[in-house]
Structure 1
Amino acid sequence: MTARTASTSAPFHARRSFPFITWFRSRLLARWYDRHLQRLDLGEIDDHLLRDLGLTPEDVRRECAKSFWQA
């Protein structure tokens, strides 16, 4: 009976995918958290500064009502 190890049975590209998935997941979570913080900050801007930005209070309400994963 021949002993098989995981490193010889899996192709090279399958063994290398885990670090990419971990990196992608961490970047996605960071992007979602950053988007959440930006929407919190946007909700605190007063009307004078919103006019300078060219935004209406309705624009801000619509943006702040979105979930963190929505762009």
Structure 2
Amino acid sequence: MTARTLPNSVPANRASFPFVTWLRSRLLARWYGRHLQRLDLAEVDDHLLRDLGLTPEDVRRECAKSFWQA
């Protein structure tokens, strides 16, 4: 049985690492922002919901979604 060794060269996709990090941070920021918006929406009273053209059922449906769902 022979031991496997890692290649000495740097993988070609290593150059894209900053982009992947940036993309991941943007995604996490979007998810967190969506979560905060739904928390705020849950606190809006009925009078303001009517002004926005939303029903309490619309708010319940939106707030029941997970943070990754648009």
Calculate the TM-score normalised by the size of structure 2.
0.84
User: 2:56 matched to 1:36?
Assistant: no
Alignment of 1:52-63 (within 5 A): 52-63=51-62
* Structure 1 unaligned regions, length at least 5: none
Aligned to 2:3: none
Runs of 4+ aligned residues of structure 1 deviating over 2 Å after TM superposition are: 4-7
Aligned to 2:14: 15
User: How many aligned residue pairs are there?
Assistant: 64
Between the aligned partners of 1:47 and 1:53, the Cα distance in structure 2 is 10
* Structure 2 unaligned regions, length at least 5: 1-6
Query: Percent of aligned positions with the same letter in both sequences?
Result: 80
Bigger fraction of residues in helix: 1
Q: How much is the aligned-residue C-alpha RMSD, in angstroms? A: 1.3
Look up the SS of the partner of 2:54 in the other structure. Answer: coil
Between the aligned partners of 2:54 and 2:66, the Cα distance in structure 1 is 20
After superposition, give the CA deviation of every residue in 1:17-71 in whole Å (9 maximum; x if it has no partner): 1111100100000000000000000000000000000000000000000000000
Aligned to 1:6: 9
Calculate the TM-score normalised by the size of structure 1.
0.83
